[in-house]
Amino acid sequence: MGFVRVRFNNFKNIEPREMRWFPGLNLLTGGNGAGKTNILEGISIISGWGTLGRGEKNSSIPTWESGSSEAQLTGEIDSEEIIKVKVAKRFFIKVDDKTVTASDLRWKIPLLSFLSDDMSIIEGSSASRRRLVDMLLALIVPSYAFRLSEYRRGVRQKALFLKKGLPSMVVDRALLPLAAWLWRMREEGVGLLSQELEKLSELTPARIELSLKRGGAGLCADCEEDYSRSLFCYREREAALKFPIVGPHRDDVAITADGRQASSALSRGLRRRTAIALMLAASDGVKRKTGKSPVLLLDEVTAELDGEGRKILFDSLLSRDSQLFAATAEPFRLEIPCVVHKVEGGRIVESRQNK
């Protein structure tokens, strides 16, 4: 599965021209502000996965001063289907002129995106570790994304109740089955990541182990019981903080290297390599469960990696049969079989094929 060509109209700073893509690795190079991340974002949107979550609203997508509030993205995938997405307040999607939902499209084009923040997945905030597990599960469990957003809506509602000093028991009861289901799924997702990670030992020098830490819970193994008991324990605390502290929205993934906490046990370079191994493990997990290799989007992929780290990274990337889009602001001299697209001022000015 991959893109043959795309064209973005009125999309941020990207010029409305056809961009042609290589089935393997497409490396986008160019200075800061050239539009590399915008191109990755366009590919994410035209695959049904939405913006890259840089805290922007759809209304900030159309080109500034164009006077229009809409952007249009068109692309052809290798099955020759034509995808069209109109970005207005929400996304309107057509495949071969038939209207489809974003979730239909996501099943057609599995995709995993890794932003520069994800590179600090080991030492960064728990949100980036949850994001990894959620992306993986959204690709292998059809109802996962929907149920997660239902759960999040419930948590927002509960936060509102707590803020007003109202009892939140009604919301808690509605959240219980969702929270328990999400915990079960995430435990399976973390298990799958661990198994795939074991096969990537050339990237990870130490024995890396992962386990899910349930948010504000962990009193017993049974998910339903754990949620109820933990809520009971922390009810007063939640009321005092005016914020829900029990549930999957506060989950984390504990990562250890040879039994010690990875964030302190590993050097900076090794933490980045482990982060990359985790991304590849997610991609391999999706392949194993669904038989499809996801398209990979990797932003600022080489930052802070030394020569050896880059070599290992690109060897691993190229050994997969996925289409890859990677962006880097650094000048690039690696002789790897890929197409290097030079991006300047919102347009690809040159595409050079390395053999």
Ligand X SMILES: Nc1ncnc2c1ncn2[C@@H]1O[C@H](COP(=O)(O)OP(=O)(O)O)[C@@H](O)[C@H]1O
- Residues flagged as binding site: 30-37
Q: C-beta of 327: minimal distance to ligand X in Å?
A: 6
3-state secondary structure at position 269: helix
Contact by Cβ (8 Å): 283, 250: no
Closer Cβ to Mg ion, 165 or 331, answer by number: 331
Q: Is 29 in the site for ligand X (CB under 6 A)?
A: no
The yes or no reply on residue 60 touching ligand X (CB under 6 A) is yes
36 binds ligand X (CB under 6 A): yes
Give the shortest CB-299-to-Mg ion separation in angstroms: 6
Pairing of strands 3-9, 71-77: antiparallel
User: Looking at 9, 29, 30, 115, which residue binds ligand X (CB under 6 A)?
Assistant: 30
Smallest distance, ligand X to C-beta of residue 331, A: 14
Residues annotated within the binding site for ATP are 30-37
Which whole-number Å values give the CA distances from 290 to 114, 232, 248, 301, in the listed order?
20, 39, 25, 26
Cβ closest to ligand X, residue 37 vs residue 293: 37
| From the list Mg ion, ligand X, none, partner contacted by residue 293 (C-beta under 5 to 8 A by kind) | none
Closest CA to 334 of 326, 344, 343: 326
312, burial (CB in 10 Å: exposed 0-12, middle 13-18, buried 19+): middle
Q: Tell me the torsion sign for CA atoms 276, 282, 285, 286.
A: negative
By Cβ distance, which residue is nearest to Mg ion?
Answer: 37
Where are the strands (E) in 180-265, listed by range? 208-213, 252-257, 260-261
Residue 214 interacts, among Mg ion, ligand X, none and using kind-specific CB cut-offs from 5 to 8 Å, with none
Angle separating helix axes 223-241 and 144-163, nearest 10 degrees = 30
Choose between 37 and 230: whose C-beta lies nearer to ligand X. Answer: 37
Q: How many residues bind ligand X (CB under 6 A)?
A: 15
**274 with 204: CB under 8 angstroms?**
yes
For ligand X, the binding residue among 5, 13, 59, 258 (CB under 6 A) is 13
Q: Judged by CB under 6 A, does residue 12 bind ligand X?
A: yes
Find the shortest distance in angstroms from Cβ 346 to Mg ion: 12
Under rule CB under 6 A, residue 72 binds ligand X:
no
On the CB side of 233, CA atoms within 13 Å amount to 14
Residues lying near ligand X in the complex (CB under 6 A): 12-13, 30, 32-38, 60-64
